[in-house]
Amino acid sequence: MIYTNKIENPADANGWTRAYLDSILVEMRLLDSCVPDTSCTIFGRKFATPVMTAAFSHLDRMHEGGMITMAQGAAEAHALNWAGMGSAEELEGILGACPETIKIIKPYMDRDLVREKLQHAYKAGAIAVGMDIDHSFNRKGQHDVVLGMEMAPVSLDELKSFVAETPLPFVVKGVLSVQDALKCREAGVSGILVSHHHGMIPYGVPPLMILPEIAKAVGADMDVFVDCHIDTGADTFKALALGAKAVCVGRAVLDDFGKNGAEGVRAYINAMTDGLREMMAKTGAADLASIDPGVLHTLV
Ligand SMILES: Cc1cc2nc3c(=O)[nH]c(=O)nc-3n(C[C@H](O)[C@H](O)[C@H](O)COP(=O)(O)O)c2cc1C
């Protein structure tokens, strides 16, 4: 049973996503427990926390320095940073502030532009690249247009060619089915982000509801990340217990970012990490690999 009190519009995937997260309850396991280690390794790099920034764009209006300031906050929290849509110059600034960054490229219809951006991300020093495949269509089921640039859905063959285009690990953002996850694996993708991009599809299934199926289907072949309403340390704990290697925090960090810039981001990620550590300590998980999905319960 899902806790549905807060759902105002059932077609809005965000309401179900929050309600689903809040419906997952946790038992305590205290005997033999200890202060846990929250560090994790992603694409060969070690981080203090599995909490990462979401792939953002257009943050200039919220705080001076925009995405570069966001990246600085991630670096200060020893967290992995993701970068969304933006220019080559902006990406260089982001990488200057936080070299541990994954660059997400839009599914531009102009595939030469996609290739150009893939190459630039590699040369500029990103640790991985990827694509938000969920931004192909608009609310009318037509090709989306973002800042005057037309998007187009990606075929499996095209995905294979993008993966082959770069020596970097390739991440697909916006996977919300076992079918797409298996196609990503077939294409040689290194990681997937289970996400509905804060409500890209009406009635979108909560990422945590489908995460265990996806994680089981792809096995150890790809890293599985998750976002959408992962707002707290407890949300992070539930996501990791259900099969995610790490999570991205999106809209929840933006208030603190807007008020306090990089310091706000650092403090928010640290607070989420503290909350995660508390959940791990009180469920007997000494490190991230020891988090046991058996501690989770759902309302009946
Ligand atoms: C201001 C803003 C800008 C975003 N820009 C991008 C982008 O350029 N590329 C992308 O893949 N996702 C983008 N996203 C989506 C986020 O990466 C994330 O998938 C989404 O917000 C869901 O996470 P949340 O519920 O924690 O916000 C953006 C989100 C926000 C709020």
From the CA of 251, give the closest atom in ligand 1.
27
Domain, as residue range, for 153:
13-288
Residue nearest to atom 18 of ligand 1 (CA): 197
Secondary structure tally for the chain: helices H, strands E: 9, 14
Mean pLDDT of the chain: 97
Over residues 172-202, the pLDDT tens digits come to 999 999 999 999 999 999 999 999 999 999 9
Q: Is 115 in the pocket of ligand 1 (CB under 6 A)?
A: no
Q: Is 196 in the pocket of ligand 1 (CB under 6 A)?
A: no
Confirm whether 299 is domain-assigned.
no
Whole-model pTM: value is 0.97
Confirm whether 8 is domain-assigned.
no
The alpha carbon of 250 and the centre of ligand 1 are apart by a number of angstroms equal to: 6
Question: For position 214, which CATH number holds?
Answer: 3.20.20.70
Domain count, the chain: 1
Confirm whether 173 is domain-assigned.
yes
Residue nearest to atom 7 of ligand 1 (CA): 84
Of 128, 132, 176, the residue nearest 154 (C-alpha): 132
Over residues 40-76, the pLDDT tens digits come to 999 999 999 999 999 999 999 999 999 999 999 999 9
The per-residue DSSP string of 177-210 comes to: SHHHHHHHHHHT-SEEEE--TTTSSTTPPPHHHH
The per-residue DSSP string of 41-57 comes to: EETTEEES-SEEE--B-
Confirm whether 21 is domain-assigned.
yes
